[in-house]
Amino acid sequence: MAEQLHKWQEEFALKDELLQGDFDAIEIALFRMPGLAITSRHADLSVVHGSWLRAAIEAGWIASPKCRALVDDKNGERAYFYDGTDVDEMHPAKVNWLGKRIVERHDRIIKEDPKN
């Protein structure tokens, strides 16, 4: 039996088509995340999934709901908003669920066998 999704889970959508420029953007955003060990991305740690969510917001991967990133590289200030809420103020289980979906999509595309 399929898992019953909450409304916020049903509303979550990534862009339909993610191309190399999208991958460059998310991976650059990940590398700029303070304190994130890229090699631990598959670890079941909230900091890892939170970083993937923030990077997806910054890279424009999320089609729904509305998200925005405020990044000031000059002074190092960063804020990420998911559906109007600062990611830092979200429930950790929600951030974890969203981050996992982003990692899964990233990995699924990277491993695809292109048809053309």
| pLDDT at residue 96, as a whole number | 93
Q: Please state the pTM of the whole predicted model.
A: 0.88
The pLDDT of residue 77 is 87
Please determine, for residue 52, whether its predicted confidence score (pLDDT) is greater than 80.
yes
| Peptide bond before residue 34 is cis, with ω within 30 degrees of 0 | no
Please check the confidence at residue 11 and state whether its pLDDT lies above 80: yes
